[in-house]
Structure 1
Amino acid sequence: MTKDEFCAGNNTIERENAFIELQSNWAEFSNYSEYERKRLCNSLGNLLAISHSDNSSLQNDPFRFKVDQSAKGAEYRNRGYRYDSLSAQLVANNDSWTPELIKKRGIKILDFILKKLDEEPNKLSEVEKIGLLGLDFLNESVPENIQSEAVDVEYQ
């Protein structure tokens, strides 16, 4: 299905932030400053392409409700990351959403982009990739000997 075919069915595609910087109900982010939460919120690894209808129902819900909206009531059945785009479904496989997962997903996306550009994913170091993602404050937790895995998903 092309984007035009998808949009013809009134299912416009929107950008979704899995973590919203203003949320106070996500304990995984409570130790970060307002500046760092804003960086995490807008980092590539936190962004998802999802349908307009799902995006409007997700609001500022906790992660478990973003994954599956059915606990909010019958009218929300089959809504949430679990039922949306492939990238949202992959995020839904996590039990929680953390700064570390945002960083790892962002690195995988950068590796995918480099691969599509016929560049070696190792062309940039982990530290450089984390810098490109705007997450320099997370550099301390990256052991030097770890290399990111290339993403093996093919997009048309």
Structure 2
Amino acid sequence: MKIGYLLHRLRLGLHNKWWLFSYSWREFQLKLQFYWLMYQSSKRLDFSQKSALIFAPHQDDEVLGCGGIIALKREQGVPVKVVFVTDGGASHADYSKITREEIIQIRRQEALTALNILGVNSTDIHFLDKHDGGLRWMTQAEREQTIEEIALLLRAFNPN
């Protein structure tokens, strides 16, 4: 990648030498990296009309990771369901002014509200309510039950 091309993309041109000296070398590097990502590395997302089943470790991951595609699919009328594996109760474990149960209820309500804004009906949102931060310590029976719950959701929805 030529620096001149990136500078051109910045609409600064090589003729503006003062611009080169107005930033630190690190700021200049960061700007170049940003524009390389924006103009060279970014690719158009091919949108499909296929239904989607989104699995999120806990509440907010579905929006942070897939919020745009969820909104786009729902806007196009494509079925989307979301499954939260854990209850999200460990997110503020060091914050003593709120109990774990309150955190779980707040995060559940926030997830329902956020997904409603994105166009997902509450009937298409599933909470498996596994203990947040405790998946690795599940017993074999608990693991098998979780796998069965996920398999039932997959069979019932049969996403594309």
User: TM class by shorter-chain length?
Assistant: under 0.3
Flag the structure with higher strand content. Answer: 2
Larger radius of gyration: 2
Q: TM-score under structure 2 normalisation? A: 0.26
TM norm structure 1: 0.27
